[in-house]
Amino acid sequence: MLEIRESQIEDIFATQLDDVKSILSLNENLTLIDRQKRLNSGRIDLLFLSVSSLHLLELKAVTSKIEFCDQTIGYKNDLLELQIKNQIPSLPLKSYLVCPKFIHTHKDYCIKNDIIPIEFSPYELLKNYYFKVKAISNLISVKPSNHGLWNLHLFNPIIYAIEEDTHIARLSNITGKSKSTVGSYLRLANELGLTNREFKVTLTDLGKKYVQLKDDSIDRLNENQVELLKDYIVKNPFSSPAIYGIYAAVESVFLLSKNFYPIPLSEAHKFFTTLSGKQSEWAEKASNYAFIMYSNYAIDLGLLAKMERNYYITPAGIKFILLLELNKSILFVNSL
């Protein structure tokens, strides 16, 4: 038994016009011209316009009833009267009653009264809508990956050695690291928005700023580099596996703090695996290593702290996760 408010199904029909076109078996594109339009016999759910016709759609989230058919007949007659008065376009009117399931006699009754009975699957509609929302599709498609780099500052020598159109072989010679290691580190740098890598390696504008802020007196990222990367990550939460991995590590500690604090590694890595969408891919050891790696990145950025095998969220981490959640919410709202 489906438990959902009918208005929520109507929201999907009103916005996912390709789905409506498919459900109604139409070839022409549709435009929504009215919703919950008040008529003499009640409120019509949805009224669409195609090149050749008007399409009245009465939507139900339960099995058909005779009164649903009569309701749709009443709406159809009301619209025909409006056409006579030239209050709506005088195009052929097609009227549909859309239900998850039709009793056979109700379907016959509709057809006899020039109402087209349409069955649809609310489950498929809800599932398709979830995957079509742009922000959600980005969220579910991006998952942390392993670059074999335990701390962010370890890629600094490679980034600092990049000049215009630098080859990996040259970076390997300069840094003394193998080509495969350089390539792996550069993939992380790419995902953090610092480099571009096609045939040759170049710095992005963000990468150039990062290099300009370097401080040769310290090995780790300096505060200016940290702020630069944090700002970029907050504004681009789903842009790459590495960024999402950092976000997921901080959020794991933040969310688990509702249950206990500080957060032990044994709990953090399991939650991180679920949050990252890697539950079916990572075994216990891989899950443990992945969380340690991404939590190290978060520590490098001042977002987390660790004492022995327990994790803490820093003041900067709390601010970071709240700002990131705000930006994530904006992305979701704008994509609906």
Whether residue 138 is found in the same domain as residue 286:
yes
d(CA 170, CA 15): 52
Judged by DSSP in three states, 218 sits in coil
Place of tokens 């996760």: 321
Judged by DSSP in three states, 203 sits in strand
d(CA 316, CA 323): 10
Whether residue 141 is found in the same domain as residue 118:
no
How, if at all, do strands 93-99 and 54-59 pair?
parallel
Whether residue 141 is found in the same domain as residue 172:
no
Whether residue 243 is found in the same domain as residue 144:
yes
Cut 0.85: pTM above it? no
How, if at all, do strands 310-313 and 263-264 pair?
antiparallel
* Structure tokens, 300: 């490098």
Q: Which residues contact 54 (CB under 8 A, 6 or more apart)?
A: 47, 48, 79, 88, 89, 91, 92, 93, 94
Whether residue 261 is found in the same domain as residue 214:
no
Report if residue 224 sits inside a domain.
no
Amino acid at the residue 87: Q
> How many structural domains does the chain have?
3
Report if residue 198 sits inside a domain.
yes
* Closest alpha carbon to 194 in 223, 227, 155, 247: 155
Whether residue 157 is found in the same domain as residue 268:
no
Report if residue 225 sits inside a domain.
no
Whether residue 156 is found in the same domain as residue 209:
yes
Whether residue 43 is found in the same domain as residue 85:
yes
- HSE-CB at 19 with a 13 A cutoff on CA atoms is 21
Amino acid at the residue 4: I
Burial class for 257, CB neighbours closer than 10 Å (0-12, 13-18, 19+): middle
End-of-domain residue from the set 188, 219, 250: 219
Whether residue 142 is found in the same domain as residue 252:
yes
Whether residue 33 is found in the same domain as residue 97:
yes
d(CA 228, CA 324): 15
Q: What is the pLDDT of residue 134?
A: 54
Whether residue 257 is found in the same domain as residue 140:
yes
Report if residue 314 sits inside a domain.
yes
End-of-domain residue from the set 194, 219, 244: 219
The CATH code of the domain that includes 211 is: 1.10.10.10
10-residue averages of pLDDT along the chain (336 residues):
76 88 90 90 92 92 93 94 90 94 94 94 81 58 75 91 84 89 90 85 93 87 93 84 91 92 93 86 87 94 91 90 78 62
Whether residue 177 is found in the same domain as residue 143:
no
d(CA 221, CA 227): 10
Q: DSSP letter string over 270-281?
A: HHHHHHTT-TTT
The CATH code of the domain that includes 101 is: 3.40.1350.10
Residue 41 lies in domain: 6-124
Contact (CB, 8 A) for 44 and 75: yes
Chain-centroid distance of CA 187 in Å reads 23
